[in-house]
Amino acid sequence: MQALHISPGELPPQCEALRAEVRQFVAHHLADYPVSKRVRSWFGVEPEFTRKLAQKGWIGLTWPKQYGGHERSYLERYVVLEELLAAGAPVGAHWVADRQSGPLLMRYAPDTLAPQIVPRIVRGEAFFCIGMSEPDAGSDLASIRTRAVHTDKGWLINGRKVWTSGANYAHYMIALVRTRERTDDRHAGMSQVLVDMRTPGLTCQPIYTQLGENDFYEVTFDDVLVPHENLIGTEGGGWKQVIAELSFERSGPERFLSSTQLLLEMLDEADPADARQAIALGRVAAQYATLRQLSLAVAVMVSRHEDPGLVASVVKDQGALLEQSMPDIAHELFGGRVDPDSSLAQALNYLTLAAPSFSLRGGTREILRGIISKGLGLR
């Protein structure tokens, strides 16, 4: 077994000045933003708030100026994300574009699609959804069947994507499709295509969760024609690209901060004289501090252009465990005594129903543990 080397990360002084600025901004713009919305964390969608963040220069923070970006450091970006997530700010509209679609376009379509689209992401005007999962291809992404056929007029797409978060408001999807017949090499013959969500033949059907809400959709492609130039990167090179995209997707602080509002509500409600509460919440705070240190180490690796895949998988795995344990801890400490109209009850009710999905989205617990054991040389 190989050792997991993680260097603790430190934030340079300019990050703390930026932190204060973000806190002030959030306090001003979200003063009346209710807990029932904050608890949705990075799934809260308010395009107007996204545009305000864009005006501050906090979208595309690290991206090159040639694409409208701000060329600031990855650690500054980390601080902005951390503050927004801790406040439960509604960042959902631009989250996917800022986290993975923009970087993907700049890396694999730097001269064609990126100059047209990335500046719009930076301005908070272009939102993205992720077209990976299909009815029979979630963890086993190489089993996708959605097909794109090269025709004189463009790529003709037929098939179905599922669990597509934000398909209702996204302007674009980056879809993983099969551009060649399957062969013995399961990872060959896939490509990524940029799809305008308003293209004729594309329809979205809501999928309701146990919360009774529909954050994600089933997206059907029925002879959807997209221009040839919407192919991202190389035809047939989609697998390598999608792995790079997943690495962007799994490396941020959202992977341990989704239940933060519940922690804050518990701290507000806690009785300082109650030793049981103090011990339980102290343990939780220690776990948050540890995960935060690990997550910061991932940000440092990203800033040094090192591959953060293994450590990011550890943070996501351990982060999901912590996030998912929070409703049980709250029930144990406050259950039966919570005013049903209180902010604590609202956070608890939402997270009790939402938390099971935290170890599914972005790669399931079992898949991440497979990646971790491989990275440690255990299989």
Ligand X SMILES: Cc1cc2nc3c(=O)[nH]c(=O)nc-3n(C[C@H](O)[C@H](O)[C@H](O)COP(=O)(O)OP(=O)(O)OC[C@H]3O[C@@H](n4cnc5c(N)ncnc54)[C@H](O)[C@@H]3O)c2cc1C
Q: Give the Cα separation of 141 and 239 in Å (integer).
A: 9
| Beta bridge partner(s), residue 98 | none
Q: Of 2, 67, 100, which Cα lies nearest the Cα of 379?
A: 2
The per-residue DSSP string of 132-148 comes to --BTTBSS-GGG---EE
C-beta closer to ligand X: residue 26 or 105? 105
Q: Of 317, 175, 309, 314, which Cα lies nearest the Cα of 248?
A: 309
Residues in the chain: 379
Smallest gap from Cβ 216 to ligand X, in A, equals: 5
CB atoms within 10 A of CB 271: 11
Smallest gap from Cβ 65 to ligand X, in A, equals: 30
Give, for 329, the enclosing helix (H) or strand (E). helix 309-334
Smallest gap from Cβ 214 to ligand X, in A, equals: 11
Tokens read off for 63: 């991206």
C-beta closer to ligand X: residue 215 or 265? 215
Q: Give the Cα separation of 297 and 11 in Å (integer).
A: 10
Smallest gap from Cβ 229 to ligand X, in A, equals: 23
Smallest gap from Cβ 97 to ligand X, in A, equals: 12
Detail the DSSP E strand segments found in 154-234.
Answer: 154-165, 172-178, 190-196, 202-207, 216-226, 231-232
Smallest gap from Cβ 338 to ligand X, in A, equals: 26
Residue nearest to ligand X (CB): 138
C-beta closer to ligand X: residue 9 or 363? 363
The letter for the amino acid at 175 is: A
Smallest gap from Cβ 199 to ligand X, in A, equals: 18
C-beta closer to ligand X: residue 60 or 131? 131
C-beta closer to ligand X: residue 76 or 215? 215
Smallest gap from Cβ 374 to ligand X, in A, equals: 12
C-beta closer to ligand X: residue 157 or 284? 157
Detail the DSSP E strand segments found in the chain.
Answer: 128-131, 147-151, 154-165, 172-178, 190-196, 202-207, 216-226, 231-232
Q: Beta strand 172-178 with 190-196: parallel, antiparallel or unpaired?
A: antiparallel
Q: Give the Cα separation of 275 and 281 in Å (integer).
A: 10
C-beta closer to ligand X: residue 30 or 132? 132
| CA distances in angstroms from 325 to 170, 240, 282, 350, listed in the order given | 31, 34, 14, 14
C-beta closer to ligand X: residue 338 or 354? 354
Residues that bind ligand X (CB under 6 A): 129-133, 138-139, 163-165, 216, 357, 360-361, 363-364, 366-367
- Helix, strand or coil for residue 11? coil
For residues 279 and 271, the answer to whether their CB atoms sit within 8 Å is: no
Smallest gap from Cβ 377 to ligand X, in A, equals: 18
C-beta closer to ligand X: residue 12 or 356? 356
C-beta closer to ligand X: residue 56 or 365? 365
Smallest gap from Cβ 51 to ligand X, in A, equals: 22
